[in-house]
Structure 1
């Protein structure tokens, strides 16, 4: 009797949270018009896809991108427009990662006020204004690092050399450790 009561009491907060989360949501329509709603009913695919990415849109993350190449470097965007890697964290290494669409982000230097962009030859540069060359596809790799591919120029990735200099995007691939970045707080 006591075991059954403790199990029921442990499920009570879960039940309350479930009920409270449904308060602000509209009623779910039944499947196929006249059929009563069941757990197995299929929703319109377009509605589901539209809602999948909504939780990420507009969320800006402040991170430092760390690359474990050489002695380890953080990407910095300096006020003079230079993009490079530094070993120690400083005020120019804080980046604002803003989602543009699903899997595509912009990298904005918070302190310098400049966007990271990549031109058609694969060189990283900084830009005061947002443009299509500022978009990067964020790819989660098998080793839990991220790779950032230019959305405007597919096949070109952000990479750092063993000395902390930026590498040309057409000379690196996501299998190389120079393109593996760990977003840190």
Structure 2
């Protein structure tokens, strides 16, 4: 008599049924998210609010975006210009904005980093997660055509080969040109750090200051309207002199 394997017997007795869709109000098993290249990077921030982080480079500098448009690195632990807002603009693509400078990190066609007052396509960076929690940020629209040796592949592959340009801060705290960077360089690896207590205090003071300015501006405009109405009423009450 043939012996039927136990697993086969169990599968015959209890066949697997298709998984039903989740009903409203029930918890569902989360789907595994992958990055744009399908390499398994997790981007839980997609569709959510901007992440406030400090980008700590492996060269021990925090990326800074100054109000005057300068980009560099700082060794200070608590520096207002190193607090960033990272927002997803597409799958695996983010925009990085300095919270206190109000400017966006951008890379031009010459590979130079600069701070843009308005968001444009040069402000889009491809975010990749690497080992030990470090990330790289490559320009989405600027790269170097990488020539391949003859016979190294099809003509289509040779035409599409590109080398990415990465955000990079060297050992002196200065940004490197994009075409000189590699994803494996220490200067191109950034650790997104959560804000500390002192950072949250600076953010709170900034929010209070902006709220006070808005309140003052609103009250000023309301006072101007009140004075204009008062002058108009006085003008209507006057009688022409003989």
**TM-score > 0.5 by shorter chain:** yes
SS at match of 2:179: helix
- Report the equivalent of 1:84: 72
Relative to structure 1, the CA distance from residue 153 to residue 53 in structure 2 (aligned partners, 3 Å threshold; closer, same or farther) is same
- How many Å separate the matches in 2 of 1:95 and 1:55? 15
1:104 is aligned to 2:93: yes
Change (3 A) 1:55 1:173: closer
Distance 1:55 1:83, change over 3 A: closer
For structure 1, which runs of at least 5 residues remain unmatched after alignment? 1-20, 26-51
- 1:87-135 per-position Cα deviation (integer Å, ceiling 9, x unaligned): 0130110000000011000000000000000001110001011000000
* Contact 1:57-1:101 at 8 Å conserved across structures: no
Report the counterpart of residue 124 of structure 2 in structure 1: 135
Structure-to-structure mapping, 1:37-48, within 5 angstroms: none
The 3 A distance-change label for structure 1 pair 103 and 168 is: same
Q: Distance in 2 between matches of 1:53 and 1:64?
A: 17
Deviation at 1:56, TM superposition (A): 1.5
CA distance in 2, matches of 1:77, 1:55: 22
Q: TM-score, normalised by structure 2?
A: 0.54
Structure-2 residue corresponding to 1:16: none
> Is residue 46 of structure 2 the alignment partner of residue 56 of structure 1?
yes
Rounded Cα–Cα distance in structure 1 between residues aligned with 2:58 and 2:48? 29
For 2:121 and 2:45, locate their aligned partners in 1 and report how far apart those are by CA, in whole Å.
Answer: 23
* Contact 2:56/2:190 (<8 A) preserved: yes
> Is the contact between residue 55 and residue 62 of structure 2 (CA under 8 Å) also seen in structure 1?
yes
RMSD in angstroms over aligned alpha carbons? Answer: 1.9
What is the rounded CA distance, in whole Å, between the counterparts of 1:166 and 1:140 in structure 2? 21
Q: 2:63 aligns with which of 59, 63, 75?
A: 75
Q: How far apart in 1 are the matches of 2:120 and 2:141?
A: 10
SS at match of 1:143: helix
Structure 2: state its 5+ residue gaps: 1-21, 27-41, 144-163, 195-242
1:119-161 Cα shifts (integer Å, max 9, x gaps): 0111000101100000000011123200000011131000011
Greater than 2 Å deviation, 4+ residue runs: 21-25, 52-55
The 2-side partners of 1:55 and 1:161 are apart by 28
Q: Which residue of 1 aligns with 2:106?
A: 117
* Contact kept? 2:45, 2:51, Cα under 8 Å: no
Question: Relative to total residues, which structure has the larger helix share, 1 or 2?
Answer: 2
Equivalent residue, structure 2, for 1:171 = 180
Structure number with bigger Rg = 2
Which residue of 41, 47, 65 corresponds with 2:55?
A: 65
